[in-house]
Amino acid sequence: MKKWGLTWASKQPTKNLQMKIILTGATGMIGEGILIECLNDPRVSEILSVSRKPSGKSHPKLSEYIVPEFLDLLENDSKLLGFDACFFCAGVSSVGMDKALYEKLTYDTTIAFAKAIGNQPQLSFVYVSGSGTDRTEKGRLHWARVKGKVENDLSKMAFNQTFGFRIGMMIPAVGQQHVLKYYNYLGWMSPFFKLVFPNVISTMRQVANAMIRVCSEGYERDVIFVKDIRKLDK
């Protein structure tokens, strides 16, 4: 069984400089930012946005698959075949949410989507997790245990590579519409954060670049922190 945080010698990077990507969460902050950056990246040839509602964006690279409920997707969905990578950016905050509902929206939905992608040994799966995710599944924080279980169970599936992105604060992409209010201040405060907390903040472009690089080139471990995102940007 694969273990998060270790190198998988048996796995091979995609090595495709014209990547075809599945992306979720395009109507949320992270997904929209990654979508914008991937649309602008010459290494990406095609993006299939899978979401409950249209992204509102138009681009020659972009096609959309509207799915009202991910849990209703069938395993090995034909519309999800033939891709090089999946960037799973959909997610919800646990603040004020019932535990059972959070588990459904975080664990059940993600695993159902991964099963819908099916057995694609060429595909690398990137899961946007969070700093503090608990892979032991025994910690005090419920959200961290749930995300840890998602990471652990994704690692058992038949993908080429699986990565958990432990992102921190992010500077939005140019033209983003779905941005949490307090992130609007990061633009002018980013020099301070980069100087004082260099391993806490990154840009959407840096995150998208890291996703593309780990899928196409491989990486020394499968948990990606902000310091790794910054390293991959060099």
pLDDT per position as a tens digit, 64-83: 999 999 999 999 999 999 99
Of 2-16, 124-138, 149-163, 201-215, the poorest mean pLDDT is in 2-16
- pLDDT of amino acid 162: 97
Range of the domain at 51: 19-232
Do the domain assignments include residue 7? no
Neighbouring-strand partners of residue 125: 86, 162
CATH at residue 25: 3.40.50.720
Domain count, the chain: 1
The larger pLDDT score, comparing residue 21 to residue 10, is at: 21
- pLDDT of amino acid 192: 59
pTM for this model (two decimals):
0.89
- pLDDT of amino acid 77: 96
Do the domain assignments include residue 116? yes
Pick from 142, 146, 141, 140: nearest CA to 127: 146
The string of pLDDT tens digits covering residues 189-206 is 666 566 666 677 889 999
Do the domain assignments include residue 2? no
Look over the chain and give the mean of its residue pLDDT values, rounded to a whole number.
88
Joined tokens for residue 58 = 């138009």
Q: Is the dihedral of CA 74, 136, 31, 42 positive or negative?
A: negative
